[in-house]
Amino acid sequence: MAQQRSNRVSPQQTFRINNQIRAPQVRVIMPDGTNKGIVDTRDALELARNMCMDLIEVAPNADPPVCRIIDYGRFIYEREKKERAARKSQKTIEVKGVQLRPKTTEHHLAFKIRAARRFLQAGNKVKLNLRFRGREVAHQHVALKLIDRFVQELSDIGFVEVAPNLEGKALVAVIAPTPATLAAAHLKSTQQRIEAERAADRAAGYNEEEEEVEEVEDAEGSESEEAALNERATEWVAIEDAKLPSKTQAAELRRRQNREKLAQKRANEQFELP
């Protein structure tokens, strides 16, 4: 027989049961799921006791409230089982990184686009991280063209959630999967296709899992270049502080200007700029 329950609703308990039910009449659902109709609460309680079960208020806001006749322990077990199944079917969206450089070749760019497509098809977001080195940051228009091309290649399965913006020495953008892509992410056929494409790229020498390692290496390279620039700037300050004679100072200034012009010329040749 069902155990006697306290009239007080505990903080963890979300359903009124047995004598905790306050409505004078309720709509009763039988253990087999049939609708017995509206009956007095006393009669419903008596019916539940005769069946050695509990009367549980499952829809308190209905008029009248809806109650089920079922064993309370079994009711809680079934509810928790449904919640576990619902959590298991939910897809946790992750943010996957794809590292780019202004000098990324067409060959490697094709691999990275395919990796980004797999990330989106699996239901994840893609964070494009295009890192600059040295004076490359002065040619952001070249980087923007590269990111625009990347976005166009993914436009059928994703959309730009965060537009390209400069974060330190990196141009960053986020692409999210479309609702249709998300809906198809859990399909077995989609997962099999993703694994087949990933295996093919690995066989060709590209491993998408190494993207984060590349990002760390790029960051270390940028820090080294920044330290070198700071060191050169310190040298120029030392030259100024030494108060060199005017002729020597002028010569140093000319040499500095020549070096800057040569560096600019090389950068323009690298990015094929006029």
State pLDDT tens for residues 201-216.
888 777 766 654 444 4
Taking CA atoms, 33 is separated from 67, 69, 201, in Å, by 11, 9, 54
- The reply to whether 62 and 114 lie within a common domain is no
Averaged confidence pLDDT in the chain: 78
Check if the beta carbon of residue 55 is closer than 8 Å to that of residue 72: no
Last residue of a domain, one of 88, 113, 129: 88
pTM over 0.85: no
Separation of alpha carbons 136 and 80, rounded Å: 56
How many Cβ atoms are within 10 Å of 180's Cβ, its own excluded?
10
Residue 255 backbone phi and psi in degrees, to 5: -60, -40
Last residue of a domain, one of 63, 88, 113: 88
Taking CA atoms, 111 is separated from 66, 108, 115, 147, in Å, by 58, 5, 6, 15
- The reply to whether 201 and 236 lie within a common domain is no
Last residue of a domain, one of 215, 241, 258: 215
Domain that holds residue 45: 18-88
What are 138's two structure tokens? 């002065």
Q: pLDDT digits over 76-98, tens only?
A: 888 888 888 777 666 667 888 88
- The reply to whether 78 and 106 lie within a common domain is no
Separation of alpha carbons 40 and 19, rounded Å: 13
Q: Looking at residue 8, what is its pLDDT?
A: 43
- The reply to whether 53 and 127 lie within a common domain is no
Q: pLDDT digits over 100-129, tens only?
A: 888 888 888 888 999 999 999 988 999 999
- The reply to whether 210 and 256 lie within a common domain is no
**Sign of the four-CA dihedral 181, 186, 191, 192:** negative
- The reply to whether 39 and 78 lie within a common domain is yes
